[in-house]
Amino acid sequence: MANLLITGAAGFIGANFVHYWLARHPADRVVALDALTYAGNINNLDGAMANERFRFVHGDIRDGELMEQLLADADIDLLVHFAAESHVDRSIHGPEAFIDTNVVGTHVLLQAARKVWLEEKRIDRPVLFHHVSTDEVYGSLASDDPPFTEQTPYAPNSPYSASKAASDHLVRAYHHTYGLPVTTSNCSNNYGPYQFPEKLIPLMLLNMLEGRSLPIYGDGRNIRDWLYVEDHCVGIDGVITHGRRGETYNIGGNNEWANIDIVQLICRLLDQRFGRDPSLAERFPAAPAAGGGRSEELITYVTDRPGHDRRYAIDATRARNELGYQPAESFETGIEKTLDWYLTHEAWWRAVMDGSYREWVERHYAQG
C-alpha cells in the first residue's frame, strides 16, 4: 500500500491521474493538492471526493511548511508532481508566473522531500519523487529529424519550456547530490477529458459548437505527437512501478499530426455527429453543422506566435523496452472518446468558459 501526494491534482492531467490511480490501485491512499488557479477545477475531482481513500488539500507547492507537514503527517511515500503553469502563449506574455511555479515551486517540493525523507527519516519504507515534464524541453525538430530520445540535448525555446527544463535539472541534481529517489517522465502533447479550453483540441471543438472562428497559427503545419491522457497515466504508472531511480523516460503517443490536419479531422467528425444526431442541432444552434453547413468554414489563419516550435516527436523505445509501455489509443480512437466526453459534459465546459476566459482567447488569438 502506498500513500500518494499528487500536486496539481485538480488540473487536466493531474485529475485524470487521480481517477486512474484510485481505480487501478485500490489499496492506496491519495492526498490531492492544488492551488486552484485559473486552470485548476475542483469539479474535476467530483468522482473521487466520496472515496474514503481520497483527501483534497487546497494549497500551494511554494508553501514549504505545508509541503513538509503533508509529507510527514500523511505518511507520504510517493510524490507525483504535476503542478505547473503549462500554456506556452501565457508564458510568452507573462513569464514570471512560470518561473515562480515551475522552478521555485519544484525546488520547494524537493527541499521538503529531502528534509522529511532523508534528513528526518520520517518514512520507514522506500520513497519516490516522480516529476512530470514535457517534450518541449528538447526544443524543435526539422521535418526529417529523428524523434526526441532521453539523450537529446535540452534546447528549450519558450519561457514555459525553459522553466520546465530548469525543474528537470533540479530534480536530477537532488538525486545526484543528495541521493533523493526520483524519476522523471517527459511526455508529448496530451488531450482528453478535463482539458482546459485554452489548448488546441478543446478550444477548436468548443468554438465549433458555438460558431466561433477557429484560429490557426501561421500555416497550420506545426507538428506535435499526440498522447491520449489515460495512456499518459499508464506510462507514469509504469515509470513509478518499474522505472530505474534517477532515470528519465519519454512517454509518447506515436501520433504525429499537423495542427491544421487535427482541426480538419475534428471538423469532419463533429459534422458527422450532427448528421447522425438531430438533438445536437437543438443544443448547439450556432454550430455551422446545425444548419447543414461545414465546421471547416470557421477556420481562420492568424499571426504565428513568437518562437513557435515547428515539430515535436517522442521516441518511446526505452519506455517500451524497460517498462512494457505501449499507448492503447490511436489518435482516431482517442479523439472520438474526447468528443464523446465534451459533448456529454456541456455543464463542465460552460462553467469554465466564463467572460474572463473569452476575453483572454479573443485577445491572444487576434486575427493577423
For the stretch 99-109, pLDDT in tens is 999 999 999 99
Report the C-alpha gap between 150 and 280 in whole angstroms: 45
pLDDT band for 367, please (50, 70, 90 cuts): very low
Does the structure show a pLDDT above 80 at 360?
no
Does the structure show a pLDDT above 80 at 366?
no
**Which three cell numbers mark 142?**
526539422
pLDDT at 292: 94
Write the secondary structure of the chain as one string of H (helix), E (strand) and C (coil). CCEEEEECCCCHHHHHHHHHHHHHCCCCEEEEEECCCCCCCHHHHHHHHCCCCEEEEECCCCCHHHHHHHHHHCCCCEEEECCCCCCHHHHHHCCHHHHHHHHHHHHHHHHHHHHHHHHCCCCCCCCEEEEEEEHHHHCCCCCCCCCECCCCCCCCCCHHHHHHHHHHHHHHHHHHHHCCCEEEEEECEEECCCCCCCCHHHHHHHHHHCCCCEEEECCCCCEEEEEEHHHHHHHHHHHHHHCCCCCEEEECCCCEEEHHHHHHHHHHHHHHHHHHCCHHHHHCCCCHHHHCCCHHHHEEEECCCCCCCCECCECCHHHHHHHCCCCCCCHHHHHHHHHHHHHHCHHHHHHHCCHHHHHHHHHHCCCC
pLDDT band for 282, please (50, 70, 90 cuts): very high
The sign one gets for the Cα dihedral 25, 30, 32, 33 is negative
For the stretch 66-81, pLDDT in tens is 999 999 999 999 999 9
Sheet holding 248-251, edge to edge: 54-58, 29-34, 3-7, 78-81, 128-134, 182-187, 248-251
pLDDT at 198: 84
Does the structure show a pLDDT above 60 at 93?
yes
pTM of the model: 0.94
- Give percent of the chain with pLDDT exceeding 90: 88
The sign one gets for the Cα dihedral 299, 301, 306, 312 is positive
Does the structure show a pLDDT above 90 at 365?
no
Dihedrals phi, psi of 100, to nearest 5 degrees: -65, -50
Does the structure show a pLDDT above 50 at 161?
yes
Report the C-alpha gap between 214 and 299 in whole angstroms: 5
Average pLDDT score over residue span 239-243: 98
Does the structure show a pLDDT above 60 at 126?
yes
pLDDT band for 353, please (50, 70, 90 cuts): confident
For the stretch 128-140, pLDDT in tens is 999 999 999 999 9
pLDDT at 1: 86
Among 109, 30, 111, 113, residue whose Cα is nearest residue 72: 113
Among 39, 166, 159, 139, residue whose Cα is nearest residue 92: 159
Does the structure show a pLDDT above 50 at 258?
yes
Mean of the per-residue pLDDT values for the chain? Answer: 94
Does the structure show a pLDDT above 80 at 253?
yes
For the stretch 17-56, pLDDT in tens is 999 999 999 999 999 999 998 889 999 999 999 999 999 9
Does the structure show a pLDDT above 90 at 112?
yes
| Cβ within 8 Å of residue 209, ≥6 positions away | 270, 284, 286, 287
Average pLDDT score over residue span 265-294: 97
Dihedrals phi, psi of 181, to nearest 5 degrees: -70, 120
Return the CATH fold of 3-188+228-254+311-328.
Rossmann fold (3.40.50)
pLDDT at 357: 57
pLDDT at 368: 35
**Residues forming the active site:** 135-136, 160
So where are the chain's domains?
Answer: 3-188+228-254+311-328
Which position has the higher pLDDT, 365 or 163? 163
pLDDT at 304: 87
Does the structure show a pLDDT above 60 at 247?
yes
Half-sphere exposure of 108 (CA within 13 A, CB side): 19
pLDDT at 312: 94
pLDDT at 165: 98
Angle, CA of 28, 33 and 39, to the nearest 5°: 125
pLDDT at 364: 54
